[in-house]
């Protein structure tokens, strides 16, 4: 980083996942997803979890040649219990209830404690979706508080404060084209 570097970029101590690595990850994940669903006769619906997974989902979907439909949800989990059926707050829900003939692919930017996706997949299965699979760009298994393993995973990362490519701190940094580690002084004041 030099004095031409935008301040937003300079708030990152270093780049953890480069644009090129993100692109390669999306290529690999798209191939895995394609292989998983290509013989299915069901409708495939990609469920994009707002806000953070928007850039990742956009990169992923343009690499898929399967017919797929797009839906959005906004969810957050809360409560310290370890039961996967714990509380989940849904502020934007699916606009359909015909899930029995549908394969759902839930797309996330990051799995941290695992609560959000654990609870969401339980909820969607309880709505009788034919299948529910999850795809995350990033996984922090060292932070896990509930037993959850994504079906498709881009990169396993250490327990660092990451921003960029959809991930925010105080709603900023989502537009960085890479995943960076935020400098401590940015969030410790
Ligand atoms: C982030 C991320 C996941 C969740 C992961 O969302 O997008 O949904 O947290 O954490 P967990 O595994 O501990 O449940 P956030 O609530 O920050 O919303 P955002 O995507 O709108 O930033």
Interatomic CA distance for residues 28 and 143, integer angstroms: 25
Task: Please check whether residue 90 lies inside any domain of the structure.
Answer: yes
How much is the pLDDT for 85?
47
Instruction: Select from 77, 90, 116 the residue to mutate for testing ligand 1; criterion: most ligand atoms less than 8 Å from CB.
Output: 116
The answer to whether residue 49 scores a pLDDT higher than 90 is: yes
Which tokens in the block code for residue 12?
Answer: 């990152």
- Whether 92 is covered by a domain: the verdict is yes
Please give the pLDDT value at position 87: 80
Each residue's pLDDT tens digit, 132-189: 999 999 999 999 999 999 999 999 999 999 999 999 999 999 999 999 999 999 999 7
pLDDT of residue 96: 83
- Assign 153 to helix, strand or coil: strand
1 in a domain, yes or no? no
Name residues contacting ligand 1 (CB within 6 A): 49-52, 76-77, 108-116, 168
Residue 68 placed within a domain = yes
- Read off the CATH number of the domain in which 62 is found: 3.40.50.2020
Q: How many domains does the chain have?
A: 1
Global confidence as pTM? 0.94
Is 112 tagged catalytic?
yes
Nearest CA to ligand 1 atom 2: 110
- Structural domain including 171 reads 7-184
What's the rounded Cα separation, in Å, for the pair 54 and 46? 12
The closest-lying atom of ligand 1 relative to the alpha carbon of residue 143 is 13
Kind plus residue range of the DSSP H or E element containing 75: strand 69-77
159 is a domain residue: yes
Q: How far is CA 24 from CA 29, 63, 74, 137, 155, in A?
A: 9, 11, 27, 11, 11
Is 152 domain-assigned?
A: yes
| Per annotation, catalytic residue among 101, 112, 147, 168 | 112
Please name the residue that has the structure tokens 């839906």. 71
Query: What is the chain's mean pLDDT, rounded?
Result: 93
Is pLDDT above 70 for 3? Answer: no
In a domain, 189, yes or no: no
Structure token pair of residue 175: 């537009």
- 82 pLDDT band, cuts 50/70/90, is very low
- Tens of pLDDT along 118-130? 999 999 999 999 9
Residue 84: inside a domain, yes or no? yes
Q: Which atom of ligand 1 is the closest one to the Cα of 77?
A: 14
């Amino acid at each position: 980083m030099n004095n031409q570097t935008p301040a937003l970029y300079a708030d990152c101590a270093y780049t953890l996942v480069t644009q090129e690595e993100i692109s390669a990850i999306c290529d690999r994940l798209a191939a895995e997803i394609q292989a998983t669903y290509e013989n299915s006769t069901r409708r495939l619906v990609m469920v994009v979890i707002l806000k953070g997974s928007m850039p990742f989902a956009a990169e992923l979907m343009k690499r898929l040649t399967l017919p797929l439909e797009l839906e959005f949800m906004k969810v957050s989990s809360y409560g310290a219990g370890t039961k996967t059926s714990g509380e989940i707050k849904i502020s934007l829900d699916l606009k359909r209830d015909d899930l029995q003939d549908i394969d759902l692919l839930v797309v996330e930017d990051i799995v941290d404690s695992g609560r959000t996706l654990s609870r969401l997949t339980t909820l969607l299965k309880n709505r009788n979706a034919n299948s529910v699979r999850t795809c995350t760009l990033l996984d922090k298994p060292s932070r896990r508080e509930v037993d959850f393993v994504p079906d498709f995973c881009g990169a396993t990362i250490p327990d660092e404060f990451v921003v960029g490519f959809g991930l925010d701190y105080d709603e900023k940094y989502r537009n960085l084209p890479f995943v960076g580690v935020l400098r401590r002084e940015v969030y410790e004041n």
